Amino acid sequence: MNLMQAVEGVRAVMGSSVRRLFLTAAMTMALGACTTVSVSDYRDETPTFDPEAFFSGELVAHGMLKDRRGRVTRRFIAEIDASWRDGVGTLDEQFVFSDGEESQRVWTLRPDGPGRYIGTAGDVVGESPVTVAGNAMFLDYTLRVPYGDGTIDVKIDDRMYLIDGNTLLNESVMRKFGFRVGEIVLVIRRVDHSEVSSGALR
C-alpha cells in the first residue's frame, strides 16, 4: 500500500530539532513499554482465528488512512486473493484509493511454529514476525515508502481481530522515531466476488 499521506506526518517529525526529537521519542517509548498489549492477552477470546481458514479464496477490504492528527486523508478498497500451498500462504492484495491511485502488495506467510508465522512482502524490510492467539493476530514490521527522490522506513504495529467467521477488523499504527505519524483502519470480509465494487471510489 502506498502511504504517501503518512509521509507528511514524518516530515513534520523530521523538521523538529534533533535534541527535542529524541528526548520526546525516548519518553514516548518508555511510556509505551509500560502499557504494551500482547497478542497473548487475547488467547481466551473467541471466535478462534485460524489464518489458513480465513485467508482462503476471495476477500475484500474497505479502509481509510489517517494522518497524525487523526484526520482521514484517503479511503480505499482492496481485493485480496488468498491461497495456501504446502503450508505457505500467499495474499495478493490489489488496492484502489479514493484519489484513483492503484497499488499492489503480495504477502507471503511461512509457518514458524504453533501460532507463529514469518511474513514477507516486496515493500517490507526484512521479515515480519506474525503471532496468533485467540481471536487476534499481530504483526510488527518496517515498511519502506517513497519520500522525495528516495524512500524512508516506517514502523508498523499491525493488529487484527476476528469478529465472526467472515469478518476481520484490522488497525495499524505507523511510527517514525517513536512518534505516531499515521493510522490505518480497515475491515476485511470473505465475500462473493460480485460484492466487490472498486469502482465505487473512482
Question: How many whole angstroms separate alpha carbon 175 and alpha carbon 25?
Answer: 10
Please determine, for residue 109, whether its predicted confidence score (pLDDT) is greater than 60: yes
Fold of 4-191: Lipocalin (2.40.128)
Residue matched to cell numbers 514516548:
28
More reliable by pLDDT, 190 or 5: 190
| Model pLDDT, residue 173 | 96
* Least confident span in 9-13, 42-46, 112-116, 188-192: 9-13
* 59-78 pLDDT, tens digit each: 999 999 999 999 999 999 99
Please determine, for residue 10, whether its predicted confidence score (pLDDT) is greater than 60: no
Provide the sign of the torsion angle of the four alpha carbons 122, 123, 126, 127, taken in this order: negative
Please determine, for residue 135, whether its predicted confidence score (pLDDT) is greater than 50: yes
Bridge partners (DSSP) of residue 169 are 161, 187
Burial of 198 (0-12, 13-18, 19+ CB in 10 A): middle
Question: How many whole angstroms separate alpha carbon 95 and alpha carbon 102?
Answer: 5
Q: Are 174 and 182 in contact (CB under 8 A)?
A: yes
Q: Are 174 and 155 in contact (CB under 8 A)?
A: yes
Q: Are 143 and 134 in contact (CB under 8 A)?
A: no
Single pTM value for the model: 0.80
Question: How many whole angstroms separate alpha carbon 196 and alpha carbon 200?
Answer: 9
Q: Nearest 5°: phi and psi at 149?
A: -90, 0
